[in-house]
Structure 1
Amino acid sequence: MSKESITQLYKKVKPYLAVFLLQLGNAGMAIVSKFALDKGMSQHVFVVYRHAIAFVVIAPFAIVLDRKIRPKLTFSVFVKIALIGLLEPVMDQNLFYTGMKMTTATFATAICNVLPAFSIAMAWILGLEKVYLRRLPGLAKVLGTIVTVGGAMFMTLVNGPMLNLPWTHVNGHQESTSSANNKQDVIKGALMMLAGCVCWSAFIILQAITLKSYPAGLSLTVLICLMGTLESSILAVAMEWNNPTAWSIHFDSKLLAAVYAGVVRSGFTIYIQGLIMKQKGPVFVTAFNPLSTILVAILGFFILSEIMYLGGVIGAIIIFVGLYLVLWGKSKDQLGSKSDNEKIIPTAQNVATMDERIITSNQEFMTINVTSVKSTNGTA
């Protein structure tokens, strides 16, 4: 292969490699955070520490690398950043981690597979994503969204028999986990995580919009983490007012979770997903969430000894089918709206519009001819 072909191949593969690394980081985040939460760490304090660490780590890079491209921070951009900080660090993560405490890491990441469906719906409403209902890819997007949400509901409401896998034989730890799961309100936790996914989708859409007026990605990441720290601190103080020990942290799994989440998840992930969105759009970023589900399921079995139920497996499969329909429709739209498989269904309104265009073009053509004849006669 020539050097040019290798360069072109790298440019095509780079977004997919980047989004795979993001999902790998998300999988590690789910395992580490679930372990820290099970050890008694407050989810509200965890969100504060996470974004404070991200701000400290990313700020030096933003100061140096964005010094020549950093635009002026206008009031409208500041309002968008404040809203972004409210949506993702405060609302999304507090809802998500509270729901995760009631369920498992595998269940939480599987629920997050509804994110692409929510993102497409919001992008469609805001005009960032085109969905042509008269074309097969557009119908696939809508149907995939419905199937994805239905799979999440099935996974939430249907448990089914426990799967007796080789690595989940009952032992002392699992007996305590199983008895604890009987006391957990799984439906309430799932609804919290679904609400968090709605906030997460809104965060991604708003970040894509903000990048157009404030294209300095690292500086935007720092400002988001700063606003997230300030806003989540207010919520954490209110929720842990009578529990000052919740803020104590030592060199243990809680500190590891906060550092990992701050550096990998809140810091560089926000920046990298911003770069991907500039090239592929906001829906592409959320389309690979099933990768993290698979990785978390594997890690959760061996590290957290999580128990899997048949209802969860069937629900995850339904979600994957819906997600495939969404991605198929998305890929067909990117190939072009005039392919043979995407012909617009003719209607009376379409025909009338084409007739008007033909009449208008004929009138313009006749006007040009008359003008040219007059100018010729005048010259003669």
Structure 2
Amino acid sequence: MEGNGCCGCESAVNRCKAYIAMISLQFGYAGMTIITKVSLNRGMSHYVLVVYRHAFATAAVAPFALVLERKVRPNITFSTATQIFILGLLGPVIDQNLFYAGLKFTTPTYSCAISNMIAAMTFLMAVICRMEKVDIRKVRCQAKVIGTIVTVTGAMLMTLYKGQVINFFWSHYMHHPRDYTPTTAIDSGGKHWFKGSILLIISTFAWASFFILQTVTLRTYHSAPLSLTSLVCFVGTLQSIAVTLVMEHKPSVWSIGWDMNLLAAAYAGIVSTGIAYYVQGVVMQKRGPVFVTAFSPLMMIIAAVMGSFILAENIYLGGVIGAVLIVVGLYSVLWGKYKEDTEKEEAEAIKGCTEENGRLPQVKEDIEANPIEMQKVEGRSCSNSH
């Protein structure tokens, strides 16, 4: 009885690991967004921030990959090298540079809300790439299509309509941190807000593409996720250096001291890149990319609370309505995906039972066709028992 209790507890802990890991990542992402917002408003170049971020990530993860996965690391083929190169381009270069640029023109809460479009975008791309099949007659497929439309509508509402400022009771007692410039002072109601929204949407599209390609690459690197993380971060660092040299011509932009800029780069690199890439890869192997994206609304809620407390961030009515639509659409897509996975599991179980039942008549026929052999086997069993 005691053994069964221990096994039950161990099983429950194993089931909770993926949930705990993904929830912890959302806190890490939200914290990164807040810290990065302060750093960018203090004048740090987002191109340089991406370089330092992935340099920190590579330095943090590579030693573990070299030691722990030296015997299981697969050989790098041309196909794998191409995939790693594109992953570095999609994640570190395109996604993060555009996300930081969009964050500079908007707010942490708004940026996290737009990022919730990732599940719908992933679904659309999977359909286009024929990784997902859509049968509009089935309720689960209708849920995914309608959820995608609702999510896109929410993002458009957040982009085109702001509305009134929603004041919380603690907003009157909050103070801006030193050197922080509120977004409302940077023409948030004009072209900069719209520009930031477009940059964030393109960034989310690149991030969704990263997830799909990472799923494909993990088929080769299923036994060495740390090595894949290290390679993507290293290649992303080199690509980001090339982009920064083209976009930034002043040597002074590379200078970094013991301040918020260093904290932003180190925190984003170690927590939001190195650890996050690895954890997402491990969870994705067991639960799939849809499970990984299911927790993104939690990041928005955490960022909203932290932003309101720490940055005295303004939250607008249009943003709240749009965020609600995005969350509703997101979970509609996830529900449809969950029902699809359940149907697949049931179909596989039925198929397995059918195959087992198909073997039983064959075994019976073999026994009836060879009675002499069965008698010999029984005779041996009796002699052995004596």
The TM-score normalised by the length of structure 2 is 0.84
**For residue 57 of structure 1, what is the amino acid of its counterpart?**
A
Instruction: Report what 2:22 is aligned to.
Output: 19
Comparing 312-321 with 122-131, greater Cα deviation is found at 122-131
Judged with a 3 Å threshold, the aligned counterparts in structure 2 of structure 1 residues 182 and 150 are, in CA distance, closer, same or farther, namely: closer
Aligned with 2:143 (options 111, 122, 140): 140
Q: Does 1:240 align with 2:243?
A: no
Q: Does 1:199 align with 2:202?
A: no
Q: What SS class does the counterpart of residue 213 from structure 1 fall into?
A: coil
Q: Does 1:166 align with 2:162?
A: no
Q: Does 1:294 align with 2:301?
A: yes
Q: Does 1:92 align with 2:95?
A: yes
Instruction: Report what 1:178 is aligned to.
Output: 184
User: Any conservation in 2 of the 1:110–1:293 contact (CA below 8 Å)?
Assistant: yes
What residue ranges of structure 1 are gaps of 5+ in the alignment? 340-380
Aligned length: 338
Q: Does 1:119 align with 2:122?
A: yes
Find the aligned partners of 2:232 and 2:9 in 1 and give their Cα distance: 36
User: Any conservation in 2 of the 1:119–1:286 contact (CA below 8 Å)?
Assistant: no
User: Any conservation in 2 of the 1:96–1:192 contact (CA below 8 Å)?
Assistant: yes
User: Any conservation in 2 of the 1:81–1:224 contact (CA below 8 Å)?
Assistant: yes
**For residue 94 of structure 2, what is the amino acid of its counterpart?**
M
User: Any conservation in 1 of the 2:27–2:299 contact (CA below 8 Å)?
Assistant: yes
The TM-score normalised by the length of structure 1 is 0.85
User: Any conservation in 1 of the 2:182–2:313 contact (CA below 8 Å)?
Assistant: no
Find the aligned partners of 2:183 and 2:286 in 1 and give their Cα distance: 44
1:8 deviation in Å? 2.3
Q: What SS class does the counterpart of residue 137 from structure 2 fall into?
A: coil
1:23 deviation in Å? 1.1
Deviations 1:291-331 (CA, angstroms, capped at 9, x unpaired):
00000000000111101111111111111111121121122
1:39 deviation in Å? 1.0
Find the aligned partners of 1:134 and 1:12 in 2 and give their Cα distance: 33
Comparing 176-185 with 133-142, greater Cα deviation is found at 176-185
**For residue 330 of structure 2, what is the amino acid of its counterpart?**
L
Instruction: Report what 2:106 is aligned to.
Output: 103
Instruction: Report what 1:219 is aligned to.
Output: 227
Deviations 1:92-144 (CA, angstroms, capped at 9, x unpaired):
11111101100011110011000111111222333434443221011101110
Matches within 5 A, 1:36-115: 36-115=39-118
Aligned with 2:269 (options 262, 265, 279): 262
Find the aligned partners of 2:28 and 2:280 in 1 and give their Cα distance: 12
Aligned with 2:314 (options 307, 318, 335): 307
User: Any conservation in 1 of the 2:105–2:183 contact (CA below 8 Å)?
Assistant: no
**For residue 245 of structure 2, what is the amino acid of its counterpart?**
V
Judged with a 3 Å threshold, the aligned counterparts in structure 2 of structure 1 residues 225 and 80 are, in CA distance, closer, same or farther, namely: same
Find the aligned partners of 1:150 and 1:177 in 2 and give their Cα distance: 24
What residue ranges of structure 2 are gaps of 5+ in the alignment? 347-386
1:178 deviation in Å? 2.7
